[in-house]
Chains A and B, each alone.
Chain A
Amino acid sequence: MADQRTTWSFYGGLRMDDHKALSTERPLQRMPMPARLILPLQQHIGHSAEPAVQVGEQVKKGQLVANAVDFVSAPLHAPTSGTVIEIGDRPIPHPSGLNDACIVIEADGQDAWAELPEPLPDYHAHSSAQLRERIRWAGIVGLGGAAFPTAAKVNTSGQRPIDSLIINAAECEPYITCDDALMRERAGDIVDGIVILRHLIDARECLIGIEDNKPEAIASLRQAITQSGQQDIEIVVVPSVYPSGGEKQLIQLLTGKAVPSHGLPSAVGVLCQNVATAAAIADAVLRGRPLIERIVTVTGHGVGQPGNFLVPLGTAADVLVQHAGGYTDRVHELIHGGPMMGFGLRDDRVPITKGTNCLLAASRDEAPPAEPERPCIRCGQCAEVCPAQLLPQQLFWYARARDFDKVQDYHLFDCIECGCCAYVCPAHIPLVHYYRFAKTEIWAQERDREKSDLARRRHEARQARLERLERQRKARLRKKKEALESKSGASDAVDPKKAAIEAAMQRAAAKKAAQQAAPSSED
């Protein structure tokens, strides 16, 4: 049996109530096309896309509306046909609650497709570069939530060869079931995507890591693998311990290899991709379709009919909640993402983006208000559950003291913000919040340093230029002066005017002398 493979374990983690049944009772539903779609230009890690359309322009479904600007960026496509009615700042799903640039499309109801690139069913005949270009064109990013551009992630050239392709189907965070729904409904596409990925990176083995709380999804995947004849894709069932779906944790679980601090999985010969990303790759390569929709879990006791929905990107969260039966009177907070790693939305008109896996309309019990923070009692429970094997207390002290050098010495940037430490903390210290504070402060300091380096370079260049100009000016003056001097020196001999005057003066003097001499001779 494929799933008899030995699995390892990762340090720490938590077993907790998964609350997944809430959203898996109803089958996957397709969300009807909303009247208006809002596409933030940045839905991925890296640089914002640049609009390729203008206000008033007609767009077709699947048409490119924003271009990727560089390697770590992703383009955007119109999720339906319609008119671009606005390009401007709008609320986006971000913990800051700030606005950012978005393209707003008003749907025309036709849902007419643009001309799409040729499907590549014979992907074996295409080079890795061509397939990566297709993935890049389709705007695919990691759909597990991190939204890192996939074309950049699968570009393994120049790195050590990839032994294992790991497909992340763990979906460990409570409440979230969008990958579960995808595996139940579209296991065939997932397997197609996996085969393409495997061809692309030339991996020796391929493992699908999935938590044991998703028996239907496991059965569905197993059937799809049998049907496709790809028997060497192994399904590895892992225990439901949060955060088994963390990239480094899943790699540890499946291969026993630890990804080094500050390192990428490629350092241990592994590439990890989410199941939904694999399905999106199948869409892009086999059907020539860009990423314009995704499955979103709408759940919690604050929503009428929790479930999974296939949602066009850009659908406003409030429209989606409305479609899912609307808010109940128990709703307390709308959370983007899951209860452990998500963040509260201040405005429910924000759009669904490529990274939106879940909207949790939480009741007061599901998202209790923060209890007052008490002093740390050094119990050490946080260190026991930290899956990154960090020392959460030390990180907390140094982050609180704003000692940003020390907090990095304790590997702040290895923290995956899973929230286990804060969950078990008996003193109710919002530990992850402290780490996020420290991380963003350190990034801000880095930006300041870059800016001051730039200012120094420009200032020095300006000083050098001013000195050069001054030297040139002085040299010019000196030359002019010298020229003048030499001119006046030379003119004594040649200037005809002066010569004439002098000759006249000489003549006058001679005349005078002659006159003076004449009378004396007459005497």
Chain B
Amino acid sequence: MITAVLTIAGLASLFGLILGYSAIRFRVEGDPIADQIDSLLPQTQCGQCAYAGCRPYAEAIAAGEAEINRCPPGGETTMIALAELLGRDPMPLEDEAAAEKPKSVAFIIEADCIGCTLCIQACPVDAIVGAAKQMHTVIEDECTGCDLCLPPCPVECIVMRPLEATPRTWRWPFPKEITAEAAHG
């Protein structure tokens, strides 16, 4: 009887030690689920999901506090990718209208810029260059098209311009569209 109790107690403490050791030795830094979600988000940092950037939204989804349908720039593709990752059911986007907006980048009408630096402070990816009382300009390749620089501008000199396709970024249309076009033409 006593042997059995001692054996079980011994085993229990042994496994307890192993588990306790592994919890420290193999500790995972950060939240791997949030990282995976973050890598699927478009990183526009626009805040249209009501969180302060993509990372906070990813953490909120990981914590089960937010739905997966709140990212308009990512659109349906992102929502479906998130649904697959998390094993949730796909759902319609919360803001369909915002998702249909074409991709665009900010453009500063340089003649109207007064050099107030407010847009520079608002840009989440440091894509605007300029200094106080100097003209500012947007680095097109680095702009995510988040619209966050529009409200702070006191002279409304920032406009969003849709990104036009070039021969290098052009995509073949889905074949059906062509046949329909050919039939009409």
A contact residues vs B (CB 8 Å cutoff):
42, 92, 94-96, 98, 100, 369-370, 372-373, 430, 433-434, 436-437, 439-441, 443-444, 447-448, 451-456, 458-459, 461-462
20 contacts between A and B (CB under 8 A): A42-B168, A94-B170, A369-B182, A434-B175, A437-B171, A437-B172, A437-B173, A439-B172, A440-B171, A441-B171, A444-B171, A453-B43, A455-B44, A455-B142, A455-B144, A456-B54, A458-B126, A459-B124, A462-B124, A462-B126
Candidate in A96, A447, A455 with the most chain B CB atoms within 10 angstroms: A455
Q: Known pairs A437-B171, A455-B43; list 15 more (Cβ under 8 Å).
A: A96-B165, A96-B170, A98-B166, A100-B166, A370-B179, A373-B179, A433-B178, A434-B175, A437-B174, A437-B175, A451-B43, A455-B44, A455-B45, A455-B142, A459-B45
Query: Would you call B127 an interface residue if the criterion is a C-beta within 8 Å of the partner chain's C-beta atoms?
Result: yes
Within the complex, the shortest CB–CB distance from A33 to chain B, in Å, comes to 27
B146 and chain A: residue at smallest CB distance? A455
A454 to B174, CA, bound (A): 29
B:129-172 near A, CB below 8 Å? 142, 144, 165-172
A451 to B139, CA, bound (A): 13
Query: Would you call B41 an interface residue if the criterion is a C-beta within 8 Å of the partner chain's C-beta atoms?
Result: yes
A77 to B41, CA, bound (A): 45
A440 to B166, CA, bound (A): 13
Please state if A452 and B42 are interface contacts (CB–CB under 8 Å).
Answer: yes
A98 to B169, CA, bound (A): 11
Please state if B167 and A373 are interface contacts (CB–CB under 8 Å).
Answer: no
Query: Would you call B91 an interface residue if the criterion is a C-beta within 8 Å of the partner chain's C-beta atoms?
Result: no
Chain A, interface SS category? helix
Residues of A contacting B178 in the complex (Cβ-Cβ under 8 angstroms)? 370, 430, 433
Please state if A447 and B169 are interface contacts (CB–CB under 8 Å).
Answer: yes
Residues of B contacting A434 in the complex (Cβ-Cβ under 8 angstroms)? 175
Please state if A92 and B174 are interface contacts (CB–CB under 8 Å).
Answer: no
A455 to B174, CA, bound (A): 29
Candidate in B43, B45, B53, B142 with the most chain A CB atoms within 10 angstroms: B43
Please state if A459 and B43 are interface contacts (CB–CB under 8 Å).
Answer: yes
Residues of A contacting B38 in the complex (Cβ-Cβ under 8 angstroms)? 456
A434 to B172, CA, bound (A): 9
Please state if A459 and B170 are interface contacts (CB–CB under 8 Å).
Answer: no
A459 to B41, CA, bound (A): 13
Residues of A contacting B43 in the complex (Cβ-Cβ under 8 angstroms)? 451-453, 455-456, 459
B:83-127 near A, CB below 8 Å? 124-127
With contacts A456-B43, A458-B125, A458-B127 taken as known, whether A433 is within 8 angstroms of B167 at the C-beta atoms is no
B contact residues vs A (CB 8 Å cutoff):
38, 41-45, 53-55, 124-127, 142, 144, 165-175, 178-179, 182
Within the complex, the shortest CB–CB distance from B148 to chain A, in Å, comes to 11
Within the complex, the shortest CB–CB distance from B115 to chain A, in Å, comes to 21
Within the complex, the shortest CB–CB distance from B149 to chain A, in Å, comes to 14
Please state if A98 and B167 are interface contacts (CB–CB under 8 Å).
Answer: yes
Within the complex, the shortest CB–CB distance from A118 to chain B, in Å, comes to 36
Please state if A454 and B142 are interface contacts (CB–CB under 8 Å).
Answer: yes
**Pairs A-B, 8 closest by C-beta atoms:** A452-B43, A455-B43, A96-B170, A440-B171, A458-B125, A437-B172, A436-B172, A456-B43
A200 to B18, CA, bound (A): 63
Residues of A contacting B166 in the complex (Cβ-Cβ under 8 angstroms)? 98, 100
Candidate in A369, A436, A452 with the most chain B CB atoms within 10 angstroms: A452
Residues of A contacting B173 in the complex (Cβ-Cβ under 8 angstroms)? 437
A448 to B38, CA, bound (A): 14
A437 to B171, CA, bound (A): 7
Please state if B182 and A430 are interface contacts (CB–CB under 8 Å).
Answer: no
A370 to B176, CA, bound (A): 12
Within the complex, the shortest CB–CB distance from A498 to chain B, in Å, comes to 43
Determine which of A96, A436, A439, A455 lies in contact with B125 in the assembled complex, contact meaning CB atoms within 8 Å. Answer: A455
B127 and chain A: residue at smallest CB distance? A458
A358 to B166, CA, bound (A): 24
A404 to B129, CA, bound (A): 37
With contacts A98-B167, A437-B171, A447-B169 taken as known, whether A452 is within 8 angstroms of B179 at the C-beta atoms is no
A439 and chain B: residue at smallest CB distance? B172
A473 to B56, CA, bound (A): 25
Residues of A contacting B168 in the complex (Cβ-Cβ under 8 angstroms)? 42
B177 and chain A: residue at smallest CB distance? A437
Residues of B contacting A440 in the complex (Cβ-Cβ under 8 angstroms)? 170-172
Please state if B170 and A92 are interface contacts (CB–CB under 8 Å).
Answer: no
A441 to B173, CA, bound (A): 9
Residues of B contacting A451 in the complex (Cβ-Cβ under 8 angstroms)? 43, 144
Residues of A contacting B124 in the complex (Cβ-Cβ under 8 angstroms)? 459, 462
Please state if B127 and A433 are interface contacts (CB–CB under 8 Å).
Answer: no
With contacts A452-B43, A456-B43, A458-B126 taken as known, whether A95 is within 8 angstroms of B172 at the C-beta atoms is yes
Please state if A444 and B169 are interface contacts (CB–CB under 8 Å).
Answer: yes
A20 to B170, CA, bound (A): 33
A496 to B42, CA, bound (A): 66
Determine which of A100, A430, A436, A453 lies in contact with B167 in the assembled complex, contact meaning CB atoms within 8 Å. Answer: A100
Residues of A contacting B174 in the complex (Cβ-Cβ under 8 angstroms)? 437
With contacts A96-B170, A430-B175, A437-B174 taken as known, whether A459 is within 8 angstroms of B42 at the C-beta atoms is no
Residues of A contacting B170 in the complex (Cβ-Cβ under 8 angstroms)? 94, 96, 98, 440
A373 to B183, CA, bound (A): 12
Please state if B167 and A461 are interface contacts (CB–CB under 8 Å).
Answer: no
Please state if B125 and A459 are interface contacts (CB–CB under 8 Å).
Answer: yes
A94 and chain B: residue at smallest CB distance? B167
Please state if A42 and B167 are interface contacts (CB–CB under 8 Å).
Answer: yes
Please state if B175 and A373 are interface contacts (CB–CB under 8 Å).
Answer: yes
Within the complex, the shortest CB–CB distance from A101 to chain B, in Å, comes to 9
Residues of A contacting B171 in the complex (Cβ-Cβ under 8 angstroms)? 437, 440-441, 443-444
B139 and chain A: residue at smallest CB distance? A458
A453 to B125, CA, bound (A): 11
